[in-house]
Structure 1
């Protein structure tokens, strides 16, 4: 009878590896001489035990230890082609991977935190008790790699030597997952022991796609064991469910920031990009936006670029906030990526010389990828995520089948991008001055506004609202997306919010480095501002102007208008910046539409947040105080000026 106590480490309970000697015995049994020589260069006993436990559980027919050498990378790519997890495309270095048609996003309904009864788990997440999880892992992962090769990779989530980087094992039978890991993360085989010793922890990720059949998807699961920093994933192939270095380990990093380094460290769903100011000054930004809401586009709008998805940050000894990207590549949505809005990314995707893994796009008869919104000529037929495709094809419900899935992706190394900054590998991090928060907001907030203090800035992040995107299976409608990170917050939202207030309001941050915290909104429509069209009020390229205005605001070089929701730009400043930055004439009429406050909408938004957070436990009172203060000021403004307030009303 196995133990079912609250402290069971599931993988060890199933593997029963209880010593370094036992681990080495298992490694010798399952590895040839070459792989054994490689694995025994790893000296840390806990790392060896974790790997041995995984081998006992999954029972692979062979084990490959990936050292990150060019030869090992080539082996993995060739094995991916041999297994047909990927297929070669016309352009050298490009391959295509198709997920199952029914698995085109994160399986949030089958993703669970393993939790004891007393554990705080986010109200937005699923939980499973440890004994039940133990039996699910046992019944689904025992012998799941029989007849397959287990690939073991050693990675750093962040630059080697950074105080907020996290060592992680990626153990998988999927060559697509292993190939993706090599593009997206830093293989740290040679430094792994030292980093584990210095940082005092490592993450473990165990995945197998199993037989990769549609009928197995109802039984697919993603489990995250916070106590033992281990993830388990089976019977799925979409990278968001399988490449557990990414969002699985991001969750552990959030836990580490909130519960181990409160007020000193944050782990965020944010891009990191640098904007040039006068005299080629670089000001570093970090920004949150839900997947599918323009985060990669914003990151690439920077003059120099570090990352498009995740950020680890901390307060450095000099009193500044520093940020590093735990990743070294991009797993980016390609829908609406085109030459006009994303020229640097399009160069990588359409010109030779780069390695790219495509997923779920259309492949034509010449083995060229195509996707919705690329503003190119499209073929009338091809092969996509659901099989043979032709123009006008419909599904069993009569609904048009798109040329490419809305969540189709490209995976590539960040070094392929012309504006990628060497600062990305600096373990001291980028000195970050500006933090932005945005979602898909069609009718409420202006394009840019700045919080008047750090507490109000945290509230901007807490109040992100966005239209649902294709990144989550089954998600529809409009939803709250706090900090664009809520799906990845393991504990209570209240605890996470408290960490945000303590971090950004820390007295350890020197005055010269106080953060500028702002809201961004690219999705305001003409119809929401009195027009007849559902077109956006603006263009993709306008983001460069909003970021440039914030850059100058951070250095106290530009004026602003003070409103109850925060500080907004003056028209003359924007008119000048539009001409200077993107060569565009910016009219007063457009400014008035974009920056008028539609008070009924904003007040309704505040009430939505007040009601939603009142149902959460442990939410700091500061949030409610700020929302109430803003609502009172906006209501008074409405009583005096009516429901629509033009920006000129606030000008002295």
Structure 2
């Protein structure tokens, strides 16, 4: 009993029992024999039928050899004399200290699986139980508890290099290139599901005969079957990595903790960049006993058992991404691509995050956060929601063309926002890195990103140059002509001859945010930054003006709900299709979109300072297909107008869709290219009649009775105003 108490106290696991079984009893009166007995230490759950206290007492009373061949491997060895001394004299202290040492088997194995790195004592009871459950399910060869250190990261990079998963890029400092299986290059929306008891909790009921587009639902029983079919034994021959991480600064009341279990070292290395990952997360969980978001991932094993590309194992035929909001649980199988495997990102930060936010009264959004200081030194923060590959990173890292303006980056993809006790909306970037689209990034389009990504970065599916660097579409003027290029598939590629792109359209860079030269000083402030304006936008080649301001908060929510944009490379959809993408969240809603709209509307309360809401469109084209607005650094001119509106300046005129800049109120001083403002701000009546019809049809078919009355009323109002144009 004393021994049990001593060890269990060290192990911080009061729900577990210790059993000592000994056999091979050599006679102690024969000194030439090795006076050794094997002490089998096994910690089992109280509910486990494998061993019981009753059996233990039987073993003690018989005092003879016991067949333990079916038990777990030997975990510790003591001499028989030492063991008997402890047994008969009640002096258990010395052996207890030995067994409590972190280097003995008690803390080096779990369910009989070796812990090759890390210490089980660092796991809180809840984390340990979660790990044990998945060890039993996935059957890994060994377990690695990640600590986030440089040494650990270096070892993982060496492992991946040896496996052929990554290759070094000697042109840069600590940069690597990964090439995925060609079937595993983007998010798979059609295989992404939310699991709830009631289907209506996840998705609105679409019109009869219409396929819903606002998420996919799966029942708990079907989810259980899917997990069992795919995950049983899926980690045989692999290491199970336990990745503790925080979304947001660890000291922030807005932050949340997760634990990802994965068999992919690529995921571990990427999570180390994209989240705050390491031992300190486990320490906090152990100190507080808090709950955490459970994230289980495996690259999978094809049903045939044959792994086509050992350097990038995946199971694209059976890929599935599952979310269970009620248990804060994420399960992802079959894909190594970041959007499907870095479970802190879209899965946690948006899908599970939005359900937590609804319960707790805040917002988890697909938004960049930037700080902008005007020439007078007044600084404001803006959040902006654009679909993937629509310029979030470029705007967040913009170099303003307007003199006297300064942009600083808080985040480029996700914002968690909560009203504080003073009624001010404050936001944090829950991520720790940038997972940006590479093609199109260049010195001319985003010089800040170019100054950020060429050290400590993991590139995926970009092209390789013969001088040890990388290439993608957009770097034509920055890559010497004599440099040979190998495309993302590993094939030789010649500029001007090959018709396929050198880099995959959704190729990525994964780089630490702290390397950004314009990272905002408050980007890790635990209270977040105050948000003064929210922008919505997308790729609209026709009809939608450069910028317009919503009439009020409710109209702004309607503007977000009505967003449409060309499909992007980050999703599996192909072609230039204009898709509805409300709030840029269509692929990421964690619950019923109608309830999501109600949640946004509920933010309007008398004690709160609501941000102004705007819609922007950098991508409008002329009749001959050319962009009407130069974009990039020139977008600072639009932000300048927005800031002046925040200050109450009378520089806007009313239209059917909202407030647009008055004539000559947009600062074009020093603009190198001439722009046609009339085309940029034209609001064609026929176009907007069709637009309103498309929005109305979408709401009727996709949201139905779940559409809040306030949004339906906004639709009626804008329809009337357009008819009266």
Offset of 1:268 from its aligned partner?
A: 0.2
Per the alignment, residue 503 of structure 2 pairs with 404
Per the alignment, residue 453 of structure 2 pairs with 349
Q: Distance in 1 between matches of 2:352 and 2:337?
A: 20
Q: Distance in 2 between matches of 1:465 and 1:593?
A: 20
Are 1:286 and 2:378 an aligned pair? no
Per the alignment, residue 20 of structure 2 pairs with none
Are 1:322 and 2:405 an aligned pair? no
Are 1:164 and 2:254 an aligned pair? yes
Asked whether the 8 Å contact 2:230–2:300 carries over to 1, the reply is no
Q: Distance in 1 between matches of 2:613 and 2:268?
A: 37
Q: Distance in 1 between matches of 2:280 and 2:459?
A: 29
Per the alignment, residue 418 of structure 1 pairs with 517
Gaps of 5+ in 2: 1-43, 51-105, 204-211, 302-306, 399-405
Against the structure 1 CA distance between its residues 497 and 213, is the aligned structure 2 distance closer, same or farther, given a 3 Å change threshold? farther
Per the alignment, residue 643 of structure 1 pairs with none
Are 1:305 and 2:409 an aligned pair? yes
CA deviation profile, 1:249-299 (whole Å, cap 9, x unmatched): 1211111122x12xx300000001111123322210111000011111111
Q: TM-score, normalised by structure 2?
A: 0.78
Offset of 1:558 from its aligned partner?
A: 5.3
Gaps of 5+ in 1: 1-16, 638-652
Equivalent residue pairs, number: 595
CA deviation profile, 1:429-472 (whole Å, cap 9, x unmatched): 00011100011101021111111111111111111100111111
Per the alignment, residue 629 of structure 1 pairs with 717
Alignment counterpart, residue 27 of structure 1, candidates 82, 85, 110: 110
Q: Aligned to 1:422, what secondary structure does the other structure show?
A: coil
Q: Distance in 2 between matches of 1:534 and 1:324?
A: 37
Asked whether the 8 Å contact 1:312–1:324 carries over to 2, the reply is yes
Q: Aligned to 2:559, what secondary structure does the other structure show?
A: helix
Per the alignment, residue 373 of structure 2 pairs with 276
The 5-angstrom pairing of residues 204-243 of structure 1 reads 204-211=294-301, 213=308, 216-243=315-342
Asked whether the 8 Å contact 1:20–1:48 carries over to 2, the reply is no
Offset of 1:635 from its aligned partner?
A: 1.4
Offset of 1:189 from its aligned partner?
A: 2.9
Alignment counterpart, residue 640 of structure 2, candidates 548, 554, 569: 548
Per the alignment, residue 105 of structure 1 pairs with 186
Per the alignment, residue 487 of structure 2 pairs with 384
Offset of 1:200 from its aligned partner?
A: 4.8
The 5-angstrom pairing of residues 425-444 of structure 1 reads 425-444=524-543
| Greater percentage in helix | 1
Per the alignment, residue 13 of structure 1 pairs with none
Q: Distance in 2 between matches of 1:340 and 1:542?
A: 12
Per the alignment, residue 253 of structure 1 pairs with 353
Per the alignment, residue 56 of structure 1 pairs with 136
Q: Distance in 1 between matches of 2:185 and 2:580?
A: 22
Worse-matched range after superposition: 302-311 or 185-194: 185-194
Q: Distance in 1 between matches of 2:537 and 2:651?
A: 22
Asked whether the 8 Å contact 2:560–2:582 carries over to 1, the reply is yes
Larger Rg: 2
Worse-matched range after superposition: 132-141 or 370-379: 370-379
Q: Distance in 2 between matches of 1:118 and 1:535?
A: 43
CA deviation profile, 1:456-494 (whole Å, cap 9, x unmatched): 111111111001111112444111000001211122110
Asked whether the 8 Å contact 1:574–1:586 carries over to 2, the reply is no
Against the structure 1 CA distance between its residues 143 and 603, is the aligned structure 2 distance closer, same or farther, given a 3 Å change threshold? same
Worse-matched range after superposition: 145-154 or 472-481: 472-481
Asked whether the 8 Å contact 2:366–2:415 carries over to 1, the reply is yes
Q: Aligned to 2:260, what secondary structure does the other structure show?
A: strand
Per the alignment, residue 489 of structure 1 pairs with 589
Asked whether the 8 Å contact 1:274–1:304 carries over to 2, the reply is yes
Q: Distance in 2 between matches of 1:328 and 1:19?
A: 40
Offset of 1:163 from its aligned partner?
A: 2.5
Q: Distance in 1 between matches of 2:45 and 2:327?
A: 15
Alignment counterpart, residue 87 of structure 1, candidates 152, 167, 184: 167
Alignment counterpart, residue 610 of structure 2, candidates 511, 514, 529: 514
Per the alignment, residue 545 of structure 2 pairs with 446
Q: TM-score, normalised by structure 1?
A: 0.86
Q: Aligned to 2:416, what secondary structure does the other structure show?
A: strand
Asked whether the 8 Å contact 2:169–2:177 carries over to 1, the reply is yes
Offset of 1:125 from its aligned partner?
A: 2.0
